[in-house]
Amino acid sequence: MSALKRMTRRALLQIGLIVAGAATGRLFAKTTNDNRSCETPAQTQGPFYPKHEQADTDLDLTHIKGHSEHAKGDIIYVSGQVMDDHYKPVPGALVDVWQANKHGRYHHEYDTNPAPLDLNFQGWGQIRADDEGRYRFKTIIPGAYPVNEEWSRPPHIHFKVSKRGYHELITQMYFADHALNEKDRILLALPESERGKVIVAFEADLADDEPGAKRGQFNIMLRRVRKT
């Protein structure tokens, strides 16, 4: 069985879970969240969430401690604010991020994509939001990758955001104006009105403290757990 066919079977299973999960999430939002128009939509975790601990999970995914070389790819900075459904900051929220490398491959044993690994790319980071709920990390633009013969996933970064007293959120962030966004089955599973909440435009760093780097902002809303 080819690597592409193995990926296809997993993808079909994921799609079923995605559609069911998205429908459940939207129904729950309608009944519990007064500010649902600003709620960050949930998306699938996918099969490549890191399974094993690693020595370096800091906010710079472009460099691994002890390595002399940096990751290949175009540098970006992602920042934002974690807020609750009353628009108040969520200090200390854990922002978990993971993604494919420049070539579209995850550093994960389940990823059978034949694209090259980048052993200098951290691929997974964990950041604590500050007292104002703000977070920031440095990474590279991930590559697209094929799921099957008819579908390739656009560049995206996975997020898992959590804090005690709030509902954990798993979602994905996409890059504005990428052609594959218009065909991505996971992104298109969201209502059209929700898609813009997970698509981020990146612009050149006007401060030019790192030539060529771009910056984007991805704000995240967590729902409080309602006490009964």
Q: Is 185 a catalytic residue?
A: no
Q: Is 145 a catalytic residue?
A: yes
Annotated catalytic residue: which of 103, 107, 108, 158?
158
Annotated catalytic residue: which of 153, 167, 215, 223?
153
Q: Determine the Cα–Cα distance for residues 144 and 215; give it in Å rounded to an integer.
A: 20
Q: Determine the Cα–Cα distance for residues 102 and 116; give it in Å rounded to an integer.
A: 9
Q: Which residues contact 37 (CB under 8 A, 6 or more apart)?
A: none
Q: Is 156 a catalytic residue?
A: yes
Residue from 1, 46, 68, 35 nearest 185 by CA: 46
CA 67 to chain centre: 25
Q: Determine the Cα–Cα distance for residues 212 and 40; give it in Å rounded to an integer.
A: 29
Q: Determine the Cα–Cα distance for residues 27 and 97; give it in Å rounded to an integer.
A: 26
Q: Is 49 a catalytic residue?
A: no
106 near 116, Cβ under 8 Å?
A: no
Annotated catalytic residue: which of 156, 167, 215, 223?
156
Annotated catalytic residue: which of 145, 167, 174, 215?
145
77 near 205, Cβ under 8 Å?
A: yes
126 near 61, Cβ under 8 Å?
A: no
CA 75 to chain centre: 16
Q: Is 63 a catalytic residue?
A: no
Which strand (E) or helix (H) includes residue 169?
strand 169-175
Annotated catalytic residue: which of 106, 135, 166, 174?
106
The amino acid at 175: F
Residues known to be catalytic: 106, 145, 153, 156, 158
